[in-house]
Structure 1
Amino acid sequence: MFRNKTFLTFLNACLAFLAVFIFFQIQQRDVVIKLNDHNLSMDAYQVRLKKNWTAAQIDQKLNDAKKIDDIQVHYRPRGSKKLTYFYGKGSFATPPMVSGNFFSKNDFVSDLSVAVVGQKLNQKLYKPKDQQYLKLNGRYVPVIGVMGEKISSNLDRQIFIAPSQKKLQQMKASQYDIMIDGDKNLQAAEIKAILPISEIQKSHSQQFVMTRWEWATTHWLELIGLLGIFAVMAIEIFLWRFSSHKFYTHILKAGAKVAQLALNEWASYSLFSGLGILAGTFIGCLTFSIQNYAALILYLISCFGAVSLLFKFFVKGGIKKSK
Structure 2
Amino acid sequence: MSAAAYHVTLKDKNTIWDVTQAVEKNKKIKNVQIHFQDKKNKHLTYFFGTGSFGVPPMINGSFFGSGTFNSEVEVAVVGKNYEKKLYEPKDQEYLKIGKKYIPVLGVMGDKYSSQLDKQIFIAPSIEKSKKLIANNYRIIIDGKKALNKNILKTVLKAKTVEHLKQKHFLINQDSWILDHFQELLMLAGLFILLIFGALIWIIGNINRNRSFLNLGKEPLQLLFEEWEFYTLLTGLGTIFGVMGGMLITELTNYIPLLIYNMVSFVLTNIFYILLLRKRVISLNRS
TM-score, scaled to structure 1: 0.67
Distance of 1:93 and 1:146 partners within structure 2: 15
Question: SS state of the match for residue 74, structure 1?
Answer: strand
Distance change >3 Å, CA 114–CA 303, structure 1 → 2? same
Matched with 1:33 is: none
- What is the deviation of 1:245? 5.9
Q: Which has the larger radius of gyration?
A: 1
Describe the superposition over 1:122-176 as per-residue Cα deviations: whole angstroms up to 9, x where unpaired: 43334444544333233x1331413223424333332222223343233223321
Matched with 1:133 is: 94
CA contact (8 A) 2:59 2:110 kept: no
Higher RCO (CA 8 Å, separation ≥ 6 residues): 1
Instruction: Output the amino acid matched with 1:72.
Output: Q
- What is the deviation of 1:71? 1.8
Matched with 1:295 is: 259
Matched with 2:150 is: 189
Distance change >3 Å, CA 228–CA 96, structure 1 → 2? closer
> Is 2:25 aligned against 1:64?
yes
Describe the superposition over 1:188-233 as per-residue Cα deviations: whole angstroms up to 9, x where unpaired: 2221120122222232459xxxxxx948965788668756655554
CA contact (8 A) 1:266 1:311 kept: no
Question: SS state of the match for residue 40, structure 2?
Answer: coil
Instruction: Output the amino acid matched with 2:109.
Output: E
Distance of 2:217 and 2:145 partners within structure 1: 58
> Is 2:266 aligned against 1:305?
no
CA contact (8 A) 1:102 1:144 kept: no
Matched with 2:160 is: 199
Question: SS state of the match for residue 12, structure 2?
Answer: coil
- Which of 274, 278, 284 aligns to 1:314? It is 278
Distance change >3 Å, CA 317–CA 182, structure 1 → 2? same
Distance of 1:161 and 1:253 partners within structure 2: 75
Provide structure 1 residue ranges, at least 5 long, that are not aligned to the other structure.
1-39, 207-212
**How many residue pairs align between the two structures?**
276
- What is the deviation of 1:246? 6.0
Matched with 1:145 is: 105
CA contact (8 A) 1:119 1:148 kept: yes
Any residues of structure 2 matched to 1:1-323 within 5 Å, and which? 40-138=1-99, 140-151=100-111, 152-205=113-166, 214=174, 226=187, 229-230=190-191, 233-234=194-195, 255=216, 257-274=218-235, 276-278=237-239, 280-281=241-242, 292=254, 294-322=258-286
- What is the deviation of 1:179? 0.9
Bigger shift: residues 48-57 or 257-266: 257-266
Instruction: Output the amino acid matched with 1:146.
Output: G
CA contact (8 A) 2:71 2:125 kept: yes
